[in-house]
């Protein structure tokens, strides 16, 4: 016969968030900041209702709303830190998500979930506009907030009606908002690339050249290993172990022509599963240190004229105008390929083909990519 117990669930501290927590019927209920009188009162209320209801939580129709927006954000952030991880490393989704959730928390952290509606989300949206964020970035962050509430529905933290209501908030439309528009990503001209290469270490110069010749993404460059390169044809194939669109079920092949082969060849002497382009201090390059290295080189290659004596915001504006990012090298490659071979060839080489292409079209595209890279790459 099972042992009967009339013990009361404990008031505990959730270490990751600093919140007080109690577990009732297998559900973790957040109570507010641990050790505060408010959290103790909330604990007494929930446990009292649980006991009065036959040691079970009230049904949804009986339950009074108690979850706050802050409690939802804390729970979702904890989930996101474990979910947005790729190859053991946190992805670039997390910094953007953190900014999005911060805007909600600043205005609505003590608001009950049931009191957060479409007008609340529109207020958050407008505050992003006032903060100077671009229209596209705001729309992306509003999508992240909606995704947080959708997750909350699945975890029974958010009533489904609340998510359905805020889902009706539309994204900002071009020409219908005060939010600024971002300019197009432009290619980098050859003179600028060459001047920058003069100011970077040899390994970074080779990375720039390889990316320029193949049109690969920076992330594909960082994970390149000798074992990923097939060298049994005149145009080599690089099949990344991980890439940007793999979660859509799309394959990615990067074709390496003779010029890029000469750049890459010395780095293929490394161990088969080691990254080709390793930082001088050890380990693979990351987006931030690759970008900073290029920006430092740009500052050296394109200093402001001495007679201008720029400083403060003026110097910052000068540097922004004369710096370029690695992603622009893809646009440089795309521009050249499109000019010589047409739009479709550029889409194929850079991996922009639609996901539902048939096998026949895939074979045709592969042959076209090989032909292009035999000449360009």
User: If one looks up domain 190-376 in CATH, what number appears?
Assistant: 1.10.443.10
Q: How far apart are CA 301 and CA 292, in angstroms?
A: 14
Window from 47-51, 70-74, 125-129, 301-305 with minimum mean pLDDT: 47-51
pLDDT band at 367 (very low <50, low <70, confident <90, very high): low
pLDDT band at 67 (very low <50, low <70, confident <90, very high): confident
CB 36 within 8 A of CB 30: no
Mean pLDDT estimate for the chain: 83
Residue 26 pLDDT: 83
Of all residues in the chain, what percent carry a pLDDT higher than 90? Answer: 40
**How many Å is the Cα radius of gyration of the chain?**
27
Average pLDDT for 96-111:
91
Residue 359 pLDDT: 29
Q: Report pTM.
A: 0.60
Residue 377 has pLDDT above 80, yes or no: no
Residue 251 has pLDDT above 80, yes or no: no
Average pLDDT for 193-208:
94
Residue 372 pLDDT: 64
CB 156 within 8 A of CB 27: yes
User: If one looks up domain 69-166 in CATH, what number appears?
Assistant: 1.10.150
Strand, coil or helix: 20: strand
**Span 295-348, pLDDT tens digits:** 999 999 998 888 777 778 888 888 888 898 998 888 888 788 777 777 776 666
Residue 241 pLDDT: 72
Domains of the chain, residue spans: 12-52, 69-166, 190-376
Query: Torsion-angle region of residue 217: left (phi > 0), alpha (psi -120 to 50) or beta?
Result: beta
- The gap between the terminal CA atoms of the chain, to the nearest Å, is 76
pLDDT band at 195 (very low <50, low <70, confident <90, very high): very high
If we measure between CA atoms, which residue out of 66, 82, 60, 54 comes closest to residue 22? 66
Residue 363 pLDDT: 39
Average pLDDT for 373-377:
66
């Amino acid at each position: 016969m099972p042992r009967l117990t009339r013990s009361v669930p404990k008031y505990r501290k959730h270490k990751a968030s600093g919140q007080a927590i109690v577990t009732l019927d297998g559900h973790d209920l957040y109570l507010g900041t641990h050790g505060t009188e408010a959290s103790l009162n909330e604990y007494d209320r929930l446990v009292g209702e649980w006991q009065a209801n036959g040691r079970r939580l009230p049904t949804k129709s009986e339950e009074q709303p108690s979850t706050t927006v802050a409690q939802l954000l804390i729970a979702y952030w904890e989930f996101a830190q474990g979910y947005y991880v790729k190859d053991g490393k946190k992805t670039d989704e997390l910094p953007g998500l953190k900014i999005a959730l911060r805007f909600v928390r600043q205005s609505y952290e003590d608001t009950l979930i049931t009191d957060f509606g479409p007008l609340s989300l529109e207020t958050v949206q407008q505050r992003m506009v006032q903060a100077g964020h671009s229209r596209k970035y705001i729309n992306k962050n509003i999508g992240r907030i909606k995704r947080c509430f959708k997750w909350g529905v699945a975890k029974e933290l958010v009533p489904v009606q609340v998510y359905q209501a805020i889902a009706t908030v539309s994204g900002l439309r071009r020409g219908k908002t005060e939010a600024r528009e971002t300019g197009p990503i432009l290619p980098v001209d050859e003179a600028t690339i060459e001047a920058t290469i003069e100011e970077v270490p040899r390994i970074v110069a080779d990375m720039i050249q390889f990316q320029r010749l193949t049109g690969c993404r920076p992330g594909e460059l960082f994970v390149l290993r000798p074992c990923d390169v097939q060298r049994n044809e005149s145009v080599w194939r690089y099949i990344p172990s991980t890439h940007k669109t793999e979660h859509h079920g799309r394959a990615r092949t990067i074709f390496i022509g003779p010029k890029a082969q000469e750049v890459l060849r010395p780095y293929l002497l490394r161990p088969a599963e080691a990254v080709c382009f390793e930082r001088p201090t050890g380990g693979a390059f990351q987006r931030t240190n690759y970008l900073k290295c290029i920006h430092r080189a740009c500052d050296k290659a394109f200093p402001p004229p001495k007679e201008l004596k720029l400083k403060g915001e003026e110097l910052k504006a000068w540097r922004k105008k004369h710096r370029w990012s690695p992603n622009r090298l893809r646009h440089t490659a795309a521009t050249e390929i499109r000019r010589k071979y047409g739009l479709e060839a550029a889409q194929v080489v850079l991996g922009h083909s639609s996901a539902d292409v048939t096998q026949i079209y895939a074979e045709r595209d592969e042959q076209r990519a090989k032909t292009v890279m035999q000449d360009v790459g």
